[in-house]
Structure formats: structure tokens, C-alpha cells
Structure 1
Amino acid sequence: MEILLFRLYGLMASWGEIAVGESRHTVNYPSKSAVLGLIGAALGIERDDEIMQSRLQQGYSLAVEVLSTGQLLRDYHTAQVPDSVGKFTYRTRRDELILGKERLGTILSSREYRTDALALVALRALTDAPFSLSQIREKLLKPVFHLYLGRKSCPLAAPLHPQLLTDQANFLAAFKAYRHQSLLPTGQSIDGQPSERDCYWLGINGERHYFWEGAPEDFSGNPDLTRRQTRIRHDQPLSRKRWQFVPRQEHYFYQAGE
């Protein structure tokens, strides 16, 4: 099995959950819509390209290894935007503030973020995948559009460090085979050992949380994992243009720390 792995680390990240009213919640691990959105941006796929977005959404399965969930941050957010005027479209923020000045209204919301969180993403191509994993890896190294972690206010704080692994039996084997790179700017270790800061970020001796879609045996080869749950998440993109999502099934496995 060929699997592409890359890491997601930022000072802030927001992995959207179902939004109700003014509250914009986040879960503590990357959502499928956010991961595919990041890959689509790297490939240069426009949000309104419904055909390519649909092929991207249906062409891959993924798994996530959470090394650090970070801390929860809540932000009381205000924004001024004009209401709609028929079929007229505000092209820029300047148009909203100048052309829509007489129609400005204030929107209040409470937004959640995860700070100092780190996760690994494993991507597997299905039979109808529009791009090979090697093509995606190249674009993750040299993306077409800017990449961010759920929201545009959440840029990457470390390189994605993508690795394409072949002959992997399952997602768990791929996670174990991933070669971690220091998150420190120098990329150096002390006496060949990870620094204290990297040990904290990588959670080397800590617990692990795994999430994956597909059959239970796609993770470890064992369909009867202990501590396994099957849950429903509403993060399968249906239409990026209309911000529509549908539920999907994913499995969860918890591994205690040493």
C-alpha cells in the first residue's frame, strides 16, 4: 500500500465542527474537509471548480495521528459586512466598506482555535483518484495557493515535511515508519536525541489518538482493536461553493502513553 504522510503544525488551527448560530466550534484534530481543502489549495484547484473538487473529495481516504491536541482558545469576533443587494457582488473588502457603506451591519461570533497542536495526516489514493500521491507530494512542497490550518488566520508554523511511503501494510505501519523532522528552526537535535521542546511537541512518550476511514483493518490489520469506536462526522465536502457537507463514518483508536 502506498501512503503519503505530512504533518500539520501551527500556532493556531481551527478544525470546523457543525456551526450553530454565532458559535464556531473546533474539534481537536484535523477534519477531512480541512485536509482536502489544504491539498486542493496546494494543487491550485479553485473553490468554484465543482468537478475537480468533487473528484478530489471522492478520490482519497485518510487517517490522522494526533500527537498533541494543544490548548483551546476562544475568541470573541466582530466583523462589519453589508447585506446583499440583489445579484450585486462585492468583489473586494474595499467594495464592502465603500460601495456597501450604507448597508453595513455588525456580525458577532464566538470562534474556537487549537493552539500549539500537532498532527500527522496519512493519505491513500482510491481507484478514481484524480492525482497520484507523488504529484500531491510535489505540490505540498511547492503549493500554488497559500496553505492554512482551517482558517486563513491560521498559517503553517512548520514545513509539512511530506513523505511518500511504499509497501506499507496499513495506516498504523505508515505512521510508525514516518521520519520526524525537528520543529526547531535549526532542525538540530542534542547529542543525536530530540530536544526537550521537540519531545513536548511530538509527544514521543505521550498518548496517541488515531482516526481513520475505511475498514477497521485498514489501520492495523486487526479488525478487533481494543479501545476502538466508530463515529459519525459531518465533514465530508459535498459542495465547496455552497459550503455543504455530508456525514461520513470514521473509526477511532486510543493508544496510552508509555
Structure 2
Amino acid sequence: MSVLTLRLDGPLQAWGASARFARRTTESAPTKSGIIGMLAAARGMDRGDDTELARLAALRFAVRIDQPGARVRDYQTARHQITKVSMPVSERYYLADAVFVAAVEGEDELVDLLDAALRAPIHAPFLGRRSCPPARPVRLGVHHETDLPQALRDEPWQAAPWYRKNTTDSPPSH
């Protein structure tokens, strides 16, 4: 078994919570479905590829919160440019300035395949929504012959310098 670790760091993130009508919320940490979607997009998989999606869904998943960020609300209005008809008002919630280390564990071959996909993605990775690009490359690395908890312990604290300086939080224990 191998573990692929990911740094999820960007100005805004939004992770798969309830999306009812014009209100789109976010969880306080990345979701497994969001990470599986990112990995599937990096590989260029079709949504209907049930066999490959099942392989990804079988991966073990964990996340470490290195910098919790703050929940923010974006209130959006729009009008159709041609007809001038107002579109529905939309509320979207995001996490601002959050940093996470996520990890997926699975068979060596699959983890290596996902690692290669993140090195040269077919579709760019996003942090939950297309409007949320990562600030830095997502891929941290592959840990062979280890398990999920150990791989997360082995990754250095990814919090921003300003956060480290101004917080009483301590880095994750090793």
C-alpha cells in the first residue's frame, strides 16, 4: 500500500456540502468526494466511467487541518446580457485562507497513477469549485510502505508563515 499526500492551499476553497437551489455551502474541511473528483479530473476520466470511479472511491481518505481559514459568503447577482432578465440571486460560501493536507491510500499501482496525473493533469485541479484554483501545486508526494496516519504525520506543517506567527496552534504532532 502507498499513500499520496496533497497540499490544499488557495485563497478560496469550497468542499461538497449541500447545494440547494441558489445556496451553495461548504464543509469546514475537504471531502472525500471532492478529492476523488479532483483526482478523476487530473486523470481525464469521464463521469460515466463507473469502473475507474469505483477504484477511486475505494481509496482510504484522511485530512489534516493545518490552517482552518474563515468561512465567507459571496452574494451574487446577475442579469442576462441580451434579454436583461435578472437571474436568481445566489449565495455561495467558501473557506478563505485555509490550508489542508489530504491523503489517499491504496494499491501502489493506483497511487502511482494518480501521482503521475497530478504531475501532468489533463484537467487542472480545483479546490472544490472551478472558481477555486490552488495557490501552489497540489501534489506533495507518495509515501510507499506506510499507512495513512503515518504519512500525515510525516508531512511538514503547511500553514502560512503569517498564520504560524500569529497563532497559538501548534504544528501537527509527529
TM range (shorter): 0.7 to 0.9
- Once residues 115 and 104 of structure 2 are traced to their aligned partners in structure 1, the CA distance between those partners, rounded to angstroms, is 10
- Once residues 28 and 154 of structure 1 are traced to their aligned partners in structure 2, the CA distance between those partners, rounded to angstroms, is 15
SS in 2 for 1:28: coil
Q: Residue deviations 1:55-109, cap 9 Å, x none?
A: 244331211111111111101012456xxxxxxxxxxxxxxx66xx59x551111
- Once residues 152 and 56 of structure 1 are traced to their aligned partners in structure 2, the CA distance between those partners, rounded to angstroms, is 24
TM-score, normalisation: structure 2: 0.83
1:137 aligns with 2:115: yes
1:27 is matched with 27
- Once residues 65 and 154 of structure 1 are traced to their aligned partners in structure 2, the CA distance between those partners, rounded to angstroms, is 19
In the alignment, is the contact (CA less than 8 A) between 2:67 and 2:163 conserved in 1?
Answer: no
1:155 is matched with 133
1:176 aligns with 2:140: no
Alignment size in residue pairs: 173
Give me the identity figure in percent.
26
Q: Residue deviations 1:177-230, cap 9 Å, x none?
A: 1256797xxxxxxxxxxxx437359x795276xxxxxxxxxxxxxxxxxxxxxx
- Once residues 158 and 181 of structure 1 are traced to their aligned partners in structure 2, the CA distance between those partners, rounded to angstroms, is 11
Q: Residue deviations 1:89-133, cap 9 Å, x none?
A: xxxxxxxx66xx59x55111111110110111110126xx9x610
Q: Which has the higher strand share?
A: 1
1:68 is matched with 67
1:41-60 to 2 correspondence within 5 Å? 41-47=41-47, 49-52=48-51, 54-60=53-59
1:2-41 to 2 correspondence within 5 Å? 2-41=2-41
1:99-248 to 2 correspondence within 5 Å? 101=83, 106-125=87-106, 132-168=110-146, 170-179=147-156, 196-197=161-162, 199=164, 205-206=169-170
**C-alpha RMSD of matched pairs (Å):** 3.0
In the alignment, is the contact (CA less than 8 A) between 1:141 and 1:160 conserved in 2?
Answer: no
In the alignment, is the contact (CA less than 8 A) between 1:140 and 1:162 conserved in 2?
Answer: no
TM-score, normalisation: structure 1: 0.58
Q: Which runs of no fewer than 5 residues in structure 1 stay unpaired?
A: 82-96, 184-195, 209-254
- Residue 19 of structure 1 deviates from its aligned partner by 2.5
1:65-104 to 2 correspondence within 5 Å? 65-80=64-79, 101=83
- Residue 46 of structure 1 deviates from its aligned partner by 2.7
Say which structure, 1 or 2, has more relative contact order (CA 8 Å, 6+ apart).
2
SS in 2 for 1:146: coil
